[in-house]
Amino acid sequence: MTKPFKTLDDIGEVAGRRVLVREDLNVPMADGRVTDDTRLRATLATVTELADKGAIVLVLAHFGRPKGQPSAEFSLEQIVAPYADVLGRPVRFIDWEGAEGAVAALSAGDIAVLENTRFFGGEEKNDPAVVARFAALGDLYVNDAFSAAHRAHASTEGLARALPAFAGRAMEAELDALEKALGKPEHPVAAVVGGAKVSTKLDVLKHLVGKVDHLIIGGGMANTFLAARGVDVGKSLCEHDLASVADEIMAAADAARCTVHLPYDVVVAKEFRADPPTRTVNVHEVAADEMILDVGPAAVESLADVLKNCRTLVWNGPMGAFETPPFDTATVALARTAAALTQDGSLVSVAGGGDTVAALNQAGVGDQFTFVSTAGGAFLEWMEGRELPGVAALTR
Ligand code: ADP
Ligand code: MG
């Protein structure tokens, strides 16, 4: 299958050539240590493949929000040692000052991390002067950072137009998975959209009703939809002012022949804390002093049946307040169903979102979905149907 973008398979001879590789090295740190190296590991395939082919690998990345001001706090120098551990090979560090000379001194197969791209104010403005400054250091450009692709920055978008540009292996895997999930999916397609609020996912919902056959709404946002239908949701998290928007989304779904699934039973409590007294009730039986904190077991069972009849699933947002037991029950049960169907080969499942990834890991199925995106903002913008500038620049 030909892809709408070039990959490392198309890059040709790289031995001795300088390849600027945009990665996401923006890892969380505490007390000078990397607390989660997921992002560092995600770069392995691309960086080692290029180095093994004899490229001079120059990793470009941002770190934090230095707002155009160089500082030790936001220097990428501090991640060089942990990064070398993850790669299992030496990694050099190159400051912007004298970068040309330092790059010229590298040999085939060397790997170096360049200083924080955001030390230039023009990085986030996609300033042509900054693009030129980066481009002068390399012969080829590889973008491997899907998570930064929703921003048109010098290192994500500008460079793709300045140098021959290719998708790295992690970018390629992400784009392939997203294409299978919403680009050209096998129908029927189900979307699970949960989480706290409708207001943060309006554009996601509006886009999905035109794309999927089943829209499963859970989490706090289901309360807004239930309230719009005249259900008394008591003290639940609910955006009452969005009732008409919820109605519009349901009407758009009807017009597009998309079935919207709202929970018909729910788990409620009077207090939001771990293991409070709970009741499982029909949505019409929520008392004035109760909160809906999870989808009920009958709804979960019927949603599992929906998934069994689907070929594709895209999931963003937990079904309940999953951080607080027992309100992770519906999320965990539905995640395990989706994982089992995926492992059986009957379902392509793609999930993303910060809390969603945490919830899937909590359910022990983070590695049993077809693809789990850790890209956060870029994943959500893709779910909204937006063109991501970093991806668009590669597909030109
Ligand atoms: P993601 O990060 O995956 O995009 P969100 O940030 O939109 O997900 O939503 C996750 C949050 O939604 C979690 O903190 C969870 O506790 C909260 N949530 C889910 N259901 C409810 C509910 N019924 N009431 C209150 N909060 C809820
Ligand atoms: Mg979140």
Query: Does 225 share its domain with 163?
Result: no
Which atom of ligand 1 lies nearest, measured to the CA of 293? 23
Question: What domain count does the chain have?
Answer: 2
Indicate whether this model's pTM tops 0.85: yes
CA distances from 329 to 16, 254, 267, 282, 396 (A): 54, 30, 10, 17, 45
Ligand 1 mean position, distance from CA 322 (Å)? 8
Residue 178 lies in a domain: no
Query: Does 131 share its domain with 219?
Result: no
Query: Is the torsion defined by CA of 229, 235, 236, 237 positive or negative?
Result: positive
Residue 389: is the preceding peptide bond cis (ω within 30°)?
no
From 147, 171, 195, give the residue that closes a domain.
171
Mutation pick for ligand 1 pocket among 193, 216, 272, 355 (CB with most ligand atoms within 8 Å)? 355
Query: Does 39 share its domain with 117?
Result: yes
SS (H, E, C) 87-117: HCCCCEEECCCCHHHHHHCCCCCCEEEECCH
Q: What is the pLDDT along the chain (396 residues), one digit of tens a residue?
A: 588 999 999 999 999 999 999 999 999 999 889 999 999 999 999 999 999 999 999 999 999 999 999 999 999 999 999 999 999 999 999 999 999 999 999 999 999 999 999 999 999 999 999 999 999 999 999 999 999 999 999 999 999 999 999 999 999 999 999 999 999 999 999 999 999 999 999 999 999 999 999 999 999 999 999 999 999 999 999 999 999 999 999 999 999 999 999 999 999 999 999 999 999 999 999 999 999 999 999 999 999 999 999 999 999 999 999 999 999 999 999 999 999 999 999 999 999 999 999 999 999 999 999 999 999 899 999 999 999 999 999 987
Query: Does 220 share its domain with 318?
Result: yes
Query: Does 286 share its domain with 166?
Result: no
42: CATH:
3.40.50.1260
Residue 305 lies in a domain: yes
Ligand 2 mean position, distance from CA 149 (Å)? 19
**Is the separation of the CB atoms in 116 and 75 below 8 Å?**
yes
Range of the domain at 295: 185-383
218 lines ligand 1 (CB under 6 A): no
Tell me, what DSSP letter sits at residue 368? S
Identify whether 390 is a catalytic site residue. Answer: no
Q: Which is the catalytic residue, given 197, 206, 235, 336?
A: 197
